[in-house]
Amino acid sequence: MFTQKSLVKLTGLCLAIALIAAAITGCGTQKNTAGTSKTPETRTIVDHAGRTVTVPGEINKVFSTSPVGMILMYTLAPEKLIAWNFEIAPEYKKFILPQCHNLPDLGGWYANKSCNTEELLKIHPDVIISIGVLNES
């Protein structure tokens, strides 16, 4: 059975996944009154921590700071990934789309790695997603 703590974590993870899915897949085009497609320059969303965040209206380049977020992004929209935050072992590349094999490993903010922020800034992500523990401190 699930403990109350594990259910809270599972609920939080599900909400984070729903927010990311809405942010990424909700970045389609909108019709204006003339009938032509128009994407807004920016969108305002509320993240899982309750913060109001402005993101680009069209998101094409995404980086995640955690392996969980990176796997989620690979699952939802692999064509939008611009880098990994962990090294993909050669024996696992057979499970990864060929266009993602040579993405750079920039590290992340979790475990024993630190992100190479200089290299991250060079590739100009539209959004950087962080999926991790939320606490009040």
The tally of CA atoms less than 13 A away on the side-chain side of residue 63 is: 25
What SS3 string covers 17-59? HHHHHHHHHCCCCEECCCCCEECCCEEEEECCCCCEEEEECCC
Q: Tell me the C-alpha distance between 37 and 65, whole Å.
A: 33
* Domain boundaries 4-129, corresponding CATH code: 3.40.50.1980
Q: What is the pLDDT of residues 24-64, one digit of tens each?
A: 655 554 444 555 567 789 999 998 888 899 999 999 999 99
Higher pLDDT, 37 or 88: 88
pLDDT score for 134: 73
Percentage of the residues of the chain whose pLDDT score is greater than 70 = 69
Higher pLDDT, 86 or 8: 86
pLDDT score for 20: 64
Q: Tell me the C-alpha distance between 93 and 114, whole Å.
A: 23
Q: Tell me the C-alpha distance between 34 and 114, whole Å.
A: 48
Residue-range domain boundaries for the chain = 4-129
With contact defined as beta carbons under 8 Å apart, do 105 and 124 qualify?
no
Lowest mean pLDDT among 16-20, 75-79, 88-92: 16-20
Percentage of the residues of the chain whose pLDDT score is greater than 90 = 36
Question: Quick one: pLDDT band at residue 16, thresholds 50, 70, 90?
Answer: low
Name the DSSP class of 109. Answer: S
